[in-house]
Amino acid sequence: MHDARLEKARRRLDHNAALLAPTNSTPLHVFDREIQGAAGPRRCRVYRPFAVPGGVVPGLVWFHGGGFVLGSLASHDGVCRALACQAGIAVVAVDYRLAPEHRFPAGLEDAIAVARWILDHGEALGLDSRSIAVGGDSAGGNFAAGVTQALRGAQREPSFQLLVYPATDATRREPSHVHFRDGFILTDNSIDWYLTHYLADAELTRDPRVSPIFARDVSGLPPALVMIAGFDPLRDEGALYARRMTEAAGDVETVCSEGSMHGFLNTAGVIDESARLLGLAADRLRRRLFAVA
């Protein structure tokens, strides 16, 4: 992606994701809704099962990946549809502001603001506000982790966090960044490109809002499923963040798909292992969120 001009890279991700995305035969009620972000309304897309008894259903607030620079409601449409269908929940995908037009912390602040609104007003979208998870992949996993840290102790907090190959340490100090720096989809050069667009100052890499792993305290966070890939430069930082939460008495399940690469969730339409992992994520969402509801 980083070899192309910005707008071309964005179109390329949307196009490629559609080719590889899972398909679902179960009909959903899908509609767009503007929700207040940090600096104005943000477009969100709601995927909701039909014929829900009681009128409300548990939900997932989803932040797409794309290195804080790429990605859209279109790039992760298939993933969101599959999670909604297989888990039997509503999914709200958030179109947060992207860099470099809006550098850190704009996107994260949008994520926090939208998640807070949904937790407070979920019933307006047909969601059960008592049982709402946050989740995302890659940069979106970074935002999901940041949201749970920011909302810890709030009157309403997320019930669960789904972190899929999350970016948790922008300093890139873990061995997997050396092992898989080239040739495995997410390369060292591409990470340079993303972070240069996202951060105005390289010193920000140690800010806990950029690198959640540097938070002094990760106790009291919601239960989590952390999914990582064996051939991914982000593998070790995802595992380390999961371990930190576990050591802080957190309820954390870590799943590593040893033979997968970064971005596997978006290939669930063509790779059996990716489809299995997406199904596992949906299973955990269903079990956790309906237990709360």
Domains of the chain, with CATH numbers? 6-292 (3.40.50.1820)
3 state SS of 44: strand
Is the pLDDT score of 2 beyond 70? Answer: no
Torsion angle (degrees, nearest 10) of CA 115, 44, 235, 5: -130
The DSSP line for 105-156 is THHHHHHHHHHHHHHHHGGGGTEEEEEEEEEEETHHHHHHHHHHHHHTTSSS
Q: Let me know: does 113 contact 37? Beta carbons within 8 Å.
A: yes
Say if residues 235 and 229 touch (Cβ distance below 8 Å): yes
Mean pLDDT along residues 173-177: 98
Q: Where are the alpha helices (DSSP H) in the chain?
A: 6-20, 77-87, 106-121, 139-151, 176-179, 188-198, 235-247, 272-292
Report the alpha-carbon distance of residue 165 to residue 33 in Å, rounded.
28
Q: What is the average pLDDT value for the chain, to the nearest integer?
A: 95
Q: Model confidence at 50, in pLDDT bands (50, 70, 90)?
A: confident
Residues 161-183, mean pLDDT to the nearest whole number? 97
Q: Poorest-confidence range of 19-23, 170-174, 175-179, 286-290?
A: 19-23
pLDDT in tens, 81-117: 999 999 999 999 999 999 999 999 999 999 999 999 9
Q: What is the mean pLDDT of residues 247-258?
A: 98
What is residue 51's predicted lDDT score, i.e. its pLDDT? 67
Does residue 71 sit in helix, strand or coil? coil
- Residues facing 209 on adjacent strands: none
DSSP structure class, residue 250? -
How far is it, in rounded angstroms, from Cα 196 to Cα 198? Answer: 6
CB 173 within 8 A of CB 206: no
Cα 251 to Cα 87: distance, rounded to the nearest angstrom: 20
Instruction: Please give the average per-residue pLDDT across 25-53, as a whole number.
Output: 91
Q: For the purposes of burial, counting CB atoms within 10 Å of the CB of 264, is it exposed (0-12), middle (13-18) or buried (19 or more)?
A: buried
Provide the pLDDT confidence category of residue 178 given band limits of 50, 70 and 90.
very high
Residue 59 pLDDT greater than 70, yes or no: yes
Query: CB of 233 within 8 A of CB of 173?
Result: no
pLDDT tens digits along 179-188: 999 999 999 9
SS3 call for 277: helix
**Which residues carry out catalysis?**
138, 232, 262
Task: Tell me how far apart the alpha carbons of residues 188 and 177 are, in angstroms, rounded to a whole number.
Answer: 7
